[in-house]
Amino acid sequence: MLIKVGLRPILHFWAMYRQIKALEEMLSPAISALGYEMWGIEYIQQGRGVLLRIYIDAEKGISVTDCSRVSQRVAGILDVEDPIKGHYDLEVSSPGLDRPLFTLEQFSQYIGEAVQIRLNMKLDGRKRFKGNIIEVSGDSLVISEDDNSRAIPTDMIEQARLVPQV
């Protein structure tokens, strides 16, 4: 049975989630061996192809040379393993100042910081939230939004990014 939420089928979401997890398991050891941390992966459908964006980080920061080294290594692995059917574009990037947050551990690192969140379905009539991270628990993220705290279930988060401080 295909259950729909909004315009996206839930089964499609879980298939993409499994694909990302498989790619993380496949690529993370090679990225770590080069001296970088795999910060996260975005797997974005684009027409008939896919944009595979891999974010890397390091204590010393990330340069264009670092991205190039990781891109070459990852491209070699993807060519051999062939986990993505059809056409895809590979992009390796630094998380940047407005870094995306992918894991609860990453949210925990930035408690007190401002974050923008987009949900995969509406919560109290909204899909977008902006506030400071107050707390992270097993199944929710609590943010302070206009002096009110709001719990957001982590399984509803489609995308979250830090808001750079100016």
Question: Does the structural domain 4-93 have CATH classification 3.30.300.70?
Answer: yes
| pLDDT tens per residue, range 62-72 | 999 999 999 99
Distance, in Å, from the CA atom of 19 to the CA atom of 45, rounded to the nearest integer, reads 12
The ranges of the chain annotated as CATH 3.30.300.70 are 4-93
- Measured CA to CA, the distance from residue 116 to residue 111 in angstroms comes to 13
Measured between alpha carbons, how far is 81 from 25 in angstroms, rounded to an integer? 12
Confidence of residue 92 (pLDDT cuts 50, 70, 90): very high
pTM above 0.75, yes or no: yes
> What average pLDDT does the segment 122-126 reach?
94
Range(s) within the chain of domains with CATH label 2.30.30.180: 104-162
* Dist. CA 166–CA 158, nearest whole Å: 25
Please give the class, per CATH, of domain 104-162: mainly beta
